[in-house]
Structure 1
Amino acid sequence: MSLHSTALASADHAHLLTLAHERSLRYGLALRDAPDYQRLASGALRDALDQHRFLCQHATPVMEHLFSQINNTGSILVLTSASGLVLHSLGDRDFLPKADQVALVPGVDWSEQAQGTNAIGTALQERQAITVQGAEHFLQANHSLACACAPIFGPHGQLMGALDVTSEHHRHHPHTLALVRMSVQMLENQMLAAQFPQAIRLHFHARPEFLGTLMEGIAVFSPDGQLLSLNRSAQFQCSLTDAQPQSVPTQHFSMLFRHPLTELLQACAQQLMLESGVLVACRIHLPPSTEAVQRPTTAAAPHNTPTTLPQRLSHLQYLDTGDTQLAHTIARLRKVLDKNIPVMLLGETGTGKDLLARAWHQDSARANQPFIAVNCASIPESLIEAELFGYADGAFTGARKKGAVGKIAQAHGGTLFLDEIGDMPLSLQARLLRVLQERRISPLGSEKDIPIDIAVVCATHQDLKARINQGLFREDLYYRLNGLAVRLPALRERTDLPAVIAKVLQAVQPEGATCTLAPEVLQRFLSYPWPGNVRQLHNVLRTACVMACATAEEESIVTCADLPDDFLDDYQETVEHKAPTAMENFDFGQETHKLNDLTLQRMAQALAEHQGNVSAAAKVLGISRNTFYRKKGLLPLPKNANQF
């Protein structure tokens, strides 16, 4: 970012804070007022959560993903309603004084009227993302906090709530707001798809490699071409950023693209031209009713013939990036597509079992039906039965009025993905087995059986046969689920790591930015054993891209200085006691020379060049501060040693 851009951003920020402080005074607040952390009564809070169930349902996994990236930073994630009421929080409250630990729990009001200028209330009031730190808060009682918040807009353009990360003022990271904004973008895209399951959904971007990433535009149309909704990227690409939400329904497909919708449906085109003349790559998601019109019908075609549209790209093919082991796994999965054979995915945590399950679903005849994922390890044992099977009205104390549809019933017609099946409570395994055998389900508190039609994919990192021997997993359920078992290789075992890195890098770049990896970063990535597998690679790259893009406008080079300290520290430890990986004999070429350990002489030179500043020297060399401190005593003293 240029100095001019930084100055403009600073002026805008100061102006927003001035307006917020003026509003705080008009609300009758005083600087030394005690903050009001009073919570809603339990009944009123339950009503509020029920009212915002759609938001909470889709925000929870996004919050968990974001928290995995900022864990151990003393931060709290907060989801609020459009009025500023805290609906859900996740994280570490220990940094708050005991008396204030109720400040960021469900039921507390963080609107400007209640708390004065603060990131949540001000972001909701101004309808834009903002960071409020220390004394920028109106109330002195909140000066110890640093908060980064972004508003959340619904599929119809309505303000639905806000996502906030709060920490101690002195621990705030300047790039937190970028992570929050990316998370909100992910959440809004998910809600958009969920709100219009029976609509025509068009994904597009001027750069084909951005399809399937957060940067893609998403526009939703009725079968006759009426625009129902579009995400922020689509608004920008279609020059509708200044349009009011109520004006969206007046738009039609032919007003945005230089093609009739019928042409798109008939040819399943991979390119379209915007009304502005810009050519964009695209892919289309059709609801079952629309796809049925496009599907050729012949008397000889069996009922379960895959609904393959012209030029449709295979999602399994997208995951096949050259590794022999993975290619073999994908080939075996293709053979059981639409054959009513349950699939069991085996492999370490983070290898991408969930991505493979979704790709298998997308390549099946059920692609336009629901894909419902359940993580059996993340749901409390007391709730998993209700989550899976649903419940009738009044089934238990606190149950929602009119009951709730369980995950199994939600998957009717589509695919049920049971992740970490090895952690399912033993008491529920018999009931799941009965459902799979009878293809009928009975919600809790109901005497009515509901027929279900589902494909089943399971995944686990555990040895299920060992669990059977320990009496923790039913043998009959194991054989019911284990139709075809395939194993995903760990990332360190794969020979296509450069291709995987390239794909993940495309997916995690901030919108409008282009990130490339410096040679020394690529060297480290190719030499590291990745104990957290693809999930760890995704998190490291996503954070590094945000860091790199914070100091550049469009094109950014990710250097070792952008990598998380814990990764650098673990990398140094791992390389020193390195186990062989599948990339051991990979020819890196000019940009990926064989990695050599940094010498003590080079460390001493870097320390001298930076006047004894360990942090600066460590970042230049691409190692962590901890590693530098451990070896500092071994360094040869430079001539100007008295400087440090």
Structure 2
Amino acid sequence: MGTQDDGLHAEHIQSAVTGDAAAQSAVVASWGRSMRLYGLKPDEGTPPNMLTDQELREAREELGSLIETAEIALDRLYSAVGGAGCCVLLADKNGVPVDRRGYEGDDATFCKAGLWTGAVWSEECEGTNGIGTALAEQRALTIHRDQHFRSRNTALSCTVAPIFDHRGRLMAAIDVSSARSDLTEGFVKLIAMAVVDAARRVEAENFRLAFPKARIVMAQGSERGHDRALNALIAVDEDDLVVGASRSARALLGLTDESLNSPLPAANLLGQDTDAERGFAAAERSVIQRVLRKADGNVSIAANMMGMSRATLHRKLKRLGLN
């Protein structure tokens, strides 16, 4: 499916990998992994490997409820980019799309390219590509046309953002791919913003579902960590103990599985960072005030709505200066 001579593309990659660019470019570093670590060749024209129906079912089952959790975000994302000839994929941590959105008229093109459920897009199998490289590097990125390792994939533009589970482990990725040659740089940037937003929404919803009895609050960090702090979520139980933290919150507050296994008072944790403490208190105050308004000021009803005892809510009201 490549749009340029396979030999020229292979020569370009070989030259880049052996030249100075290898130390400066993340894409060239991925090309180097593709050749040296995985033993792949750019001009191999075979399409991606496909899982059997049984293997695909098992891959979907391993993701559990995430596929259902991601449905709304995927639908919203497709409604924004589908009209521009893009398809939307949800891939597991092994680089296998397990769910898909696309226009029926484009199905033949995308199916031929391997942008289909059950295809294996790991970097180990396909070299540098959106899904595989985003998973390998655990970051959002775009692999645009001839940045792909394989010549047959150089007609594609793929923008991907990883999804991390409630313990901060790599879980899946959301991909928007296009085979259009007129995709502008500006539109690719808009797609990138939409993909990252969709991944954050799925992460946040998955985090909330993982702690159904806890209050979920956002930890505010420094200005340097603003982007990272957008999904810095903390789960707090009725005793004000931290029982969970998202990947962003772990990075922001220095949390690990080990530290979260011990009773960790939310106030003590956030007291390590004055800015975070103020942000946490402001978020908590805002939530409590909204619930109290819904409960017409009835503390007992408000406490029940938030899943805590009346005594716990009274302590919070006193601490936050709301009594």
Q: TM-score if structure 1 supplies the norm length? A: 0.37
Structure 2 counterpart of 1:489: none
Shift in alpha-carbon separation, 1:283–1:13, aligned structure 2, 3 A? farther
Q: Does 1:312 align with 2:291?
A: yes
The within-5 A match list for 1:186-225 is: 186-203=201-218, 205=220, 215=230, 217-225=232-240
Tell me, yes or no, if the aligned pair for 2:219 and 2:276 is still in contact at 8 Å: no
Larger Rg: 1
Task: After TM superposition, give the deviation of residue 130 of structure 1 in Å.
Answer: 0.7
Structure 1 counterpart of 2:33: 23
Distance (Å, rounded) in 2 between the aligned partners of 1:41 and 1:274: 50
Tell me, yes or no, if the aligned pair for 1:35 and 1:115 is still in contact at 8 Å: no
Task: After TM superposition, give the deviation of residue 252 of structure 1 in Å.
Answer: 4.0
Distance (Å, rounded) in 2 between the aligned partners of 1:232 and 1:225: 20
Tell me, yes or no, if the aligned pair for 1:152 and 1:160 is still in contact at 8 Å: yes
Shift in alpha-carbon separation, 1:117–1:151, aligned structure 2, 3 A? same
Tell me, yes or no, if the aligned pair for 2:204 and 2:231 is still in contact at 8 Å: no
Structure 2 counterpart of 1:83: 94
- For 2:195, give the aligned amino acid: V
Q: Does 1:256 align with 2:235?
A: no
Structure 2 counterpart of 1:145: 156
Task: After TM superposition, give the deviation of residue 17 of structure 1 in Å.
Answer: 1.0
- For 1:165, give the aligned amino acid: V
Distance (Å, rounded) in 1 between the aligned partners of 2:95 and 2:243: 27
1:33 is aligned, of 28, 41, 44, to 44
User: Which runs of 5 or more structure 1 residues have no equivalent in the other structure?
Assistant: 1-10, 208-213, 259-272, 287-308, 318-362, 370-644
Greater RCO, CA 8 A, separation 6+: 2
Tell me, yes or no, if the aligned pair for 1:89 and 1:105 is still in contact at 8 Å: yes
Task: After TM superposition, give the deviation of residue 97 of structure 1 in Å.
Answer: 5.9
Distance (Å, rounded) in 1 between the aligned partners of 2:41 and 2:277: 53
The within-5 A match list for 1:72-471 is: 72-92=83-103, 94-95=105-106, 98=109, 100-101=111-112, 103-168=114-179, 169-171=181-183, 173=187, 174-203=189-218, 205=220, 215=230, 217-231=232-246, 234-235=249-250, 238-240=252-254, 244=256, 247-249=259-261, 251-258=264-271, 274-276=273-275, 279-280=278-279, 281-283=282-284, 312-314=291-293, 367=305
User: Tell me, what secondary structure is at the counterpart of 2:76?
Assistant: helix
Task: After TM superposition, give the deviation of residue 164 of structure 1 in Å.
Answer: 0.6
Percent of residue pairs identical: 24
Q: What CA deviation, in whole Å up to 9, does each residue of 1:488-527 have, x standing for no partner?
A: xxxxxxxxxxxxxxxxxxxxxxxxxxxxxxxxxxxxxxxx
Aligned-residue CA RMSD (Å): 3.6
Distance (Å, rounded) in 1 between the aligned partners of 2:84 and 2:293: 40
- For 2:199, give the aligned amino acid: V
Distance (Å, rounded) in 2 between the aligned partners of 1:200 and 1:248: 16
User: Tell me, what secondary structure is at the counterpart of 2:115?
Assistant: coil
Tell me, yes or no, if the aligned pair for 2:221 and 2:275 is still in contact at 8 Å: no
Task: After TM superposition, give the deviation of residue 48 of structure 1 in Å.
Answer: 1.7
Tell me, yes or no, if the aligned pair for 2:88 and 2:101 is still in contact at 8 Å: yes
User: Tell me, what secondary structure is at the counterpart of 1:201?
Assistant: strand
Structure 1 counterpart of 2:313: none
Tell me, yes or no, if the aligned pair for 1:128 and 1:150 is still in contact at 8 Å: yes
User: Tell me, what secondary structure is at the counterpart of 1:44?
Assistant: helix
Tell me, yes or no, if the aligned pair for 2:165 and 2:206 is still in contact at 8 Å: yes
Tell me, yes or no, if the aligned pair for 2:292 and 2:302 is still in contact at 8 Å: no
Distance (Å, rounded) in 2 between the aligned partners of 1:23 and 1:88: 28
User: Tell me, what secondary structure is at the counterpart of 1:63?
Assistant: helix
Q: Which has the higher helix share?
A: 2
Shift in alpha-carbon separation, 1:218–1:98, aligned structure 2, 3 A? closer
Shift in alpha-carbon separation, 1:364–1:75, aligned structure 2, 3 A? farther
Matched residues, number: 269
- For 1:312, give the aligned amino acid: V
Shift in alpha-carbon separation, 1:127–1:311, aligned structure 2, 3 A? closer
Task: After TM superposition, give the deviation of residue 204 of structure 1 in Å.
Answer: 5.2
Task: After TM superposition, give the deviation of residue 170 of structure 1 in Å.
Answer: 3.1
Distance (Å, rounded) in 2 between the aligned partners of 1:142 and 1:162: 19
Distance (Å, rounded) in 1 between the aligned partners of 2:257 and 2:28: 28
Tell me, yes or no, if the aligned pair for 2:51 and 2:119 is still in contact at 8 Å: yes
User: Tell me, what secondary structure is at the counterpart of 1:282?
Assistant: helix
- For 2:203, give the aligned amino acid: E
Tell me, yes or no, if the aligned pair for 1:157 and 1:245 is still in contact at 8 Å: no
Q: TM-score if structure 2 supplies the norm length? A: 0.71
Q: What CA deviation, in whole Å up to 9, does each residue of 1:529-562 have, x standing for no partner?
A: xxxxxxxxxxxxxxxxxxxxxxxxxxxxxxxxxx
Tell me, yes or no, if the aligned pair for 2:142 and 2:157 is still in contact at 8 Å: yes
Distance (Å, rounded) in 1 between the aligned partners of 2:108 and 2:122: 21
Q: What CA deviation, in whole Å up to 9, does each residue of 1:194-225 have, x standing for no partner?
A: 00112233345589xxxxxx947431134444
Structure 1 counterpart of 2:16: none
Structure 1 counterpart of 2:72: 61
Structure 1 counterpart of 2:18: none
Q: What CA deviation, in whole Å up to 9, does each residue of 1:38-92 have, x standing for no partner?
A: 4222222222212212211111111001112223110011101111111101023
- For 2:283, give the aligned amino acid: C
User: Tell me, what secondary structure is at the counterpart of 1:182?
Assistant: helix
User: Tell me, what secondary structure is at the counterpart of 1:191?
Assistant: helix
User: Tell me, what secondary structure is at the counterpart of 2:162?
Assistant: strand
Task: After TM superposition, give the deviation of residue 283 of structure 1 in Å.
Answer: 2.8
Structure 1 counterpart of 2:5: none
Q: What CA deviation, in whole Å up to 9, does each residue of 1:309-328 have, x standing for no partner?
A: 777354699xxxxxxxxxxx
Distance (Å, rounded) in 1 between the aligned partners of 2:290 and 2:147: 55
User: Which runs of 5 or more structure 2 residues have no equivalent in the other structure?
Assistant: 1-20, 223-228, 308-323
Distance (Å, rounded) in 2 between the aligned partners of 1:364 and 1:217: 25
Q: What CA deviation, in whole Å up to 9, does each residue of 1:13-45 have, x standing for no partner?
A: 962212211111121211111243342222222
Shift in alpha-carbon separation, 1:161–1:13, aligned structure 2, 3 A? farther
Distance (Å, rounded) in 2 between the aligned partners of 1:223 and 1:235: 21
- For 1:283, give the aligned amino acid: E
Distance (Å, rounded) in 1 between the aligned partners of 2:193 and 2:295: 31
- For 1:46, give the aligned amino acid: R
- For 1:255, give the aligned amino acid: N
